[in-house]
Amino acid sequence: MATREAFLAKAREAQPPARPRPDVPLFTSAGGDLRARFMTALQAMGGTCVEVPAAGDVLALIRERFGDAASVASATPEVPGTRVITADTEPASLQDIDVGVVRARFGVAETGSVWFSEREYVVNSLGYIVQHLVVLLDPAQLLDGLQDVYRRDDFRDARYAALVTGPSATADIEGVLIRGAQGVRSLTVAWVGSPQGI
């Protein structure tokens, strides 16, 4: 048996017996308008919300904000990209993409976060390696708080999940806030309803 397999076998043998997860109660909601709370929380984290009449208008928004020459990789059929991506796309090949477009499954009003899994991203690096991320979010798909996320079947069924709140940021170097240091430089949430089947 190879060293790797021997190590993994020993780790599996040392696992404690499975136990049921604790029952977490639902906490009292902060109340108020979910959309307004989401926008306030997202803006506090450096993100932006915009109104878009329909998904077909997102490309015009991208051109207006990032220029006509911006390269676009889209993980949703609603918005055509200049680069086609599939599950077989090499993640590092997106390193030269200016704008990534993805539809969030839902958003969380408490934190201004949007939720993605392998299904939404198609290629995991789309959410981290591109310069700017444009997220389509149906306002009808807003949850009150983080505790609601963990009760969803799609959360439990995903191979991995990411709650994204605003663009990448760090403030640990001389206390100066820098955006885009380890990920996307900007995150824009476009309010647009979900089409059937997506």
- 93: in domain: yes
- 26: in domain: no
* CATH code (residue 42): 3.40.50.10420
Q: Across-strand partners of 73?
A: 83, 100
pLDDT digit string (tens) for 125-155? 999 999 999 999 999 999 999 889 988 999 8
- 1: in domain: no
- 9: in domain: no
- 132: in domain: yes
Give the model's confidence band at 198: pLDDT under 50 very low, under 70 low, under 90 confident, else very high.
low
- pLDDT of the residue at 170: 78
Do 166 and 177 touch, CB atoms closer than 8 A?
Answer: no
Phi, psi of 117 (to 5 degrees): -130, -175
- 121: in domain: yes
pTM confidence score: 0.84
- 148: in domain: yes
Domain extent at residue 155: 33-191
CA distance 66 to 58: 12
Give the model's confidence band at 79: pLDDT under 50 very low, under 70 low, under 90 confident, else very high.
very high
pLDDT digit string (tens) for 41-51? 999 999 999 99
pLDDT digit string (tens) for 60-77? 999 999 999 999 999 999
- 110: in domain: yes
Concatenate the DSSP letters of all residues of the chain into one string.
--HHHHHHHHHHHTPPPP-PPP-PPPPPP--S-HHHHHHHHHHHTT-EEEE-SSGGGHHHHHHHHH-TT--EEESSTTS--SB---TTS-GGGGGG-SEEEEE-SEEETTTTEEEEEHHHHSSTTHHHHSSEEEEEE-GGGEESSHHHHTT-HHHHH-S-EEEE-SS-EE--STT--EESSSS-SEEEEEE-PPPTT-
Residue 181 has pLDDT above 90, yes or no: no
Q: How many domains does the chain have?
A: 1
